[in-house]
Amino acid sequence: MPTLNRVKARLSAVAFGISMITAAGAQVASTAPTAANGTFADRSGIWGNAPAARPDTTNPFFKALGSNGRSCATCHAPNDGWSVSPGGLLKRFSNTSGFDPIFLPLDGTNCPTLPLDTLAHRQTASSLLLSRGLIRVELPVPASADYTISAVSNPYGCSSTSAISVYRRILATTNLAFLSDVMWDGRETLVSGALTDSLVNQANDAVHGHAAGTTAAAPSVIGSAVGLELLQYTAQIVDTAAGALDANGAVGGLGALSRIGLAAAAPGQPAFTLYANWETLSGTSDPAVAARASIGRGERIFNSRPMTIAGVAGLNDVASTDGQVHKVLIGTCGTCHNVVNVGTHNSHFLVDEGQARIIPKNVDLPLITVVQKSTGVRVQVTDPGAALTSGRFVDVGKFKVPGLRGFAAHPPYFHNGSAKSAADVVAFYNTRFNLNLSVQEATDLANFLNAL
């Protein structure tokens, strides 16, 4: 198994091969890493990709299919966890003086009207992308919506109340076989048809939108790109402190990840069993074994710590599997992250846990006031979520449940990148659902997430 230093050296030696056209028309070498070929360092250790061989870079996934030089790999960089990271984006910005195609004003800046004439202006204009990996998404309010957007206070401009600018984390194009919803708000999910159909739908829209395509890409081209995506599986394989994540009877790492189905954990059964053999480890002076014990305890907390779930739209206001609506539900982390050893949800499932309703002291996201027509009820959010797709007030703030494998490879977390680390994710849920975690328990749970 390569050491962290060897992996970092390999990362520094990656060749960058995509070229692009800047807004000004100059040819510039993109610094989006394009060759996922084994193992890569992250803050917790090493993540791995399967297949381990470098993907075929002649695949349309790596080709500019629109008119602005972007490819799928521009925003879903293989060596960056098949997404983007603030660190990777800062390098790309530095290497191209902010002219890499991901920073185009179409959606790579906080608002297209911001000045881009100097390096400093370009850095400021793309601050949300550079700091949190957030791309700007402009969505119209549906004509049939049962609500209105009465006000938008956007610190960057883009304050239309009919075409709403929201800022969302770029999702990874790996482990896609486990998806039940495509995109944060599920807007690319087809009601009928296979997952592949939804991914083809998403890819076509991305070519038309993000890549500014003026003509439709050939079905065979889109199909080939989607096929490459569906082949990719990503997971943490080494933890800096615990070592290999398939040691001592554990089954972490890539292992059989590609063979896991969409089976949900049965009631009362654990959602994760990767570190069952580590859950009973204790009383050792060996630092590696102590770290494994922490991961095992974290898995046990994830599976069994009771949480009182209330006020979660999409869960507490709809009928459960028993046919009843539970305004208060005693559950666990696996209630929502229920696909065994993956952590996605096994069916279409959009919920409002409240992330979009948290208004930070230093507001760097828009404040959007949504008013229900029939009642006059007003809510203020930083992102209306699925309501911008469905047109339903009850869907304000709803987003999908993301998968957890490969967690450490692509921070920050949540749809708005508000959690910089696993510790921040744990802190949110500890507060939101009154988990009453001790300092050690919070550390254990974060260590478990980072070991996925």
**Which structure tokens are listed for 365?**
């996201």
Residue 424 is inside which H or E element, if any? helix 422-432
* pTM confidence score: 0.91
**Which structure tokens are listed for 260?**
């896991």
44-103 pLDDT tens trace: 999 999 998 888 999 999 999 999 999 999 999 999 999 999 999 999 999 999 999 999
With a pLDDT cut of 70, the percent of the chain lying above it is 92
CA-CA distance, 424 to 443, in Å (whole number)?
11
393-425 pLDDT tens trace: 999 999 999 999 999 999 999 999 999 999 999
* Helices 219-231, 195-208: inter-axial angle, 10-degree rounding: 120
Bridge partner list, 368: 152, 381
For residue 11, what pLDDT is reported?
28
User: Considering the chain, what is the average pLDDT of its residues?
Assistant: 91
134-157 pLDDT tens trace: 999 999 999 999 999 999 999 999
CA-CA distance, 116 to 135, in Å (whole number)?
17
Q: How far is CA 358 from the centre of its chain?
A: 19
C-alpha pair distances (Å), 324 with each of 312, 315, 329, 335 = 15, 11, 11, 16
Give every CB contact of residue 162 below 8 A, 6+ residues apart in sequence.
140, 141, 149
296-348 pLDDT tens trace: 999 999 999 999 999 999 999 998 888 899 999 999 999 999 999 999 999 99
pLDDT at 16 over 70: no
Mean pLDDT value across residues 198-220: 95
User: Does residue 235 sit in helix, strand or coil?
Assistant: strand
Peptide bond into 51 cis (omega under 30): yes
Residue 369: other Cβ atoms inside 10 A:
16
Residue 10: other Cβ atoms inside 10 A:
16
**Which structure tokens are listed for 99?**
């002219």
pLDDT at 276 over 70: yes
